[in-house]
Structure 1
Amino acid sequence: MSPPKLYLGPLTDNRRWDSVDIRPDDVIVVTPPKCGTTWMQTIVALLFSGDPEVETELSVKMPWVDIRVREMSEVAARLDAMTHRRSMKSHTPMDGLPLHDEAQYLCVFRHPLDAHFSYRKHVRNVPLPWFDLWYPEDDTDGITFRRFLDGGAEGFDTDVMPLAHILQHYKAAKALADRPNVTLFHYADMTRDLAGTMETVAALLDISHPRALVDKLIQAATFDNMKTNATRFAPSGGKGFFKSDAEFFHSGTSGKWHGVLTPDELAAYNAMMDAHLPPEERAWLEYGSEGTNPG
């Protein structure tokens, strides 16, 4: 197998994975940003613990390995010291990650426009000014969407999530989807059938709990519960990383671009999607297993 592709951004560096010794029972959540990463991590944390009141502490207990914010030596030492089953997070496409034959890779996707508009909200909640280059607060000229369409999948653009990066994520995961330890999930399917999603994840991870407890775990993983208890569920919740932990879980709804994007912007998006994906793959990436707009 070829070595992992290099993905370097201002915020992330996938070479950090070189310091992680992957174990056979590890669970790695792999997504573009704002596609259900924290949701899937929470599902894993709930299933691991069997405790609907679990303190997830995702940033520490299920770290985002790629991010440069913490010294990699500290992250690696913390992971090595864990004697329980581990889970980690990555926003690097699958072709940039170490691929273990047994560790489980849970890849989550969302309609690219939903992810983009969620990211617009997200950057206003994160005190990192370099996002303003792509996401100016007063964007009367439509710079944000132009850069979403024009940005590349790698380099500086990696961390501001252009459409090319989402497509690269999808193609890299799809290329490995025949492996029993690489599974693709869709935000729309998770929304439509959270119970079914949790059952699928539990089966993949070979975890079982009594039915009554599973029902409590499902309730704990609902969007409303996570938003209500944002300090507990948001990454680095209660530590001041976000301006508002609750705003991290802004609405969880879809279709925010309707009435916002111009016909020309939508036409440019459609052209790019059609140029990169066959119809059936585009339908899945946008709407999940149903393949159609539910609205």
Structure 2
Amino acid sequence: MTERKLYLGPLTDNRRWDMVDIRPDDVFVVTPPKCGTTWMQTIVALLFSGDPEVETELSVRMPWVDIRIREMAEVAERLAAMTHRRSMKSHTPMDGLPLDDQAQYLCVFRHPLDAHFSFRKHARNIPMSWFDMWYPENDEEGVTFRRFLDGGAEGFDGDAMPLAHIIQHFKAASALADRPNVSLFHYADMTRDLPGTFAKVAELLDISHPPHVLDQLVQAATFDNMKAHAARFAPSGGKGFMKSDSAFFHSGTSGKWDGNLTEKEMRAYDDMMDAHLTPADRAWLEQGEAGQVRS
């Protein structure tokens, strides 16, 4: 993929990847926001180290390259200086990323409505006003969900994570899923079978640990443990990036949208999903392997 699509928003800029020299053993965690990004990064960090007590420091050791907050020259220099195996995070769809033939791309998805309601909580938990227009604190008129349905996949809208952006992520990853180094994961499957997820990721990354060590790593990555040690596991934990590190791990459950949307809103969501996805793809994007197998 030599021609990359431009994803440029107020928070992110995928042109920053031009300054990264990809190594054959690099690992990319690629997701829409609030779909299990930190969870998958933690799994990778634990497998890399083999230490259930490892200080993950994801924002520094596994940086979010796209985000504009840090100077890209500093990020690129830090990545270049790393002598250990590297992993990086991106919220850019796969058609906007540099695609290497050997590096591994772990693409994680979640039911779009679960991701949306989780992002609502997240927008209230960051001490910045980037998304106040999309996510007003008092939203009696349903502005937030209308913008979730109406927003475009790119530009300012993309950073606010509308449904179109999630669908674009899924389509871009699915188009490359036949490649041996591009793998799709689902939050629901990770929740149902965390040991199985560890085993799959370990195989993809060609990493092995004794069974008793792997059991300890799996336990470290459980939701309850990550929430209990939020300052350690949350992105930029303990540094004041969020109002509450613990609130970053709000509940980890699915279906929080059930009963919180009107029939009209649900019909509008269904119409958009059905217009852009086959029944099989929609079932997988919403439910993972419990849904219909993707064609």
After TM superposition, is the score higher than 0.5?
yes
Counterpart residue number, 2:213:
213
Counterpart residue number, 2:53:
53
- Please list, as runs of the form range in 1=range in 2, the aligned pairs for 1:207-246 lying within 5 A after superposition: 207-246=207-246
Distance in 1 between residues matched to 2:54 and 2:227, nearest whole Å: 15
How far the C-alpha of 1:2 sits from its partner, in A, is: 4.3
Distance in 2 between residues matched to 1:187 and 1:178, nearest whole Å: 20
Summarize deviations over 1:71-129 as a string: whole Å, max 9, x none: 00000000000000000000000000000000000000000000000000000000111
Which amino acid is 2:76 matched to? A
Which amino acid is 1:232 matched to? R
Counterpart residue number, 2:22:
22
Determine if the alignment matches structure 1 residue 153 to structure 2 residue 165: no
Counterpart residue number, 2:277:
277
- Please list, as runs of the form range in 1=range in 2, the aligned pairs for 1:192-207 lying within 5 A after superposition: 192-207=192-207
Determine if the alignment matches structure 1 residue 260 to structure 2 residue 234: no
CA contact (8 A) 2:57 2:236 kept: yes
Could you say what secondary structure the match of 2:132 adopts? Answer: helix
Determine if the alignment matches structure 1 residue 127 to structure 2 residue 127: yes
Distance in 2 between residues matched to 1:59 and 1:2, nearest whole Å: 28
Distance in 1 between residues matched to 2:165 and 2:174, nearest whole Å: 14
Summarize deviations over 1:187-234 as a string: whole Å, max 9, x none: 000000000000000000000000000000000000000000000000
CA contact (8 A) 2:2 2:98 kept: no
How far the C-alpha of 1:238 sits from its partner, in A, is: 0.3
Identity %: 79
Distance in 2 between residues matched to 1:202 and 1:145, nearest whole Å: 38
Counterpart residue number, 1:6:
6
Distance in 2 between residues matched to 1:152 and 1:211, nearest whole Å: 45
Which amino acid is 1:6 matched to? L
Summarize deviations over 1:235-285 as a string: whole Å, max 9, x none: 000000000000000000011111110000000000000000000000000
Counterpart residue number, 1:290:
290
Could you say what secondary structure the match of 2:6 adopts? Answer: coil
How far the C-alpha of 1:144 sits from its partner, in A, is: 0.1
Q: Which runs of 5+ in 1 are unaligned?
A: none
Distance in 2 between residues matched to 1:166 and 1:56, nearest whole Å: 27
TM-score (norm 1): 0.98
Which amino acid is 2:137 matched to? E
Distance in 2 between residues matched to 1:105 and 1:125, nearest whole Å: 29
Summarize deviations over 1:138-169 as a string: whole Å, max 9, x none: 00000000000000000110110000000000
Which amino acid is 1:219 matched to? Q
Distance in 2 between residues matched to 1:129 and 1:67, nearest whole Å: 16
Counterpart residue number, 1:71:
71
How far the C-alpha of 1:9 sits from its partner, in A, is: 0.7
Determine if the alignment matches structure 1 residue 80 to structure 2 residue 80: yes
Summarize deviations over 1:40-99 as a string: whole Å, max 9, x none: 000000000000000000000000000000000000000000000000000000000000
Q: Which runs of 5+ in 2 are unaligned?
A: none
Could you say what secondary structure the match of 2:108 adopts? Answer: strand
Distance in 2 between residues matched to 1:280 and 1:163, nearest whole Å: 18
Determine if the alignment matches structure 1 residue 113 to structure 2 residue 109: no
Runs of 4+ in structure 1 off by over 2 angstroms are none
How far the C-alpha of 1:130 sits from its partner, in A, is: 2.5
Distance in 2 between residues matched to 1:11 and 1:156, nearest whole Å: 8
Could you say what secondary structure the match of 2:105 adopts? Answer: strand
Distance in 2 between residues matched to 1:130 and 1:78, nearest whole Å: 27
Distance in 2 between residues matched to 1:15 and 1:100, nearest whole Å: 16
RMSD value, Cα: 0.6
Could you say what secondary structure the match of 1:113 adopts? Answer: helix
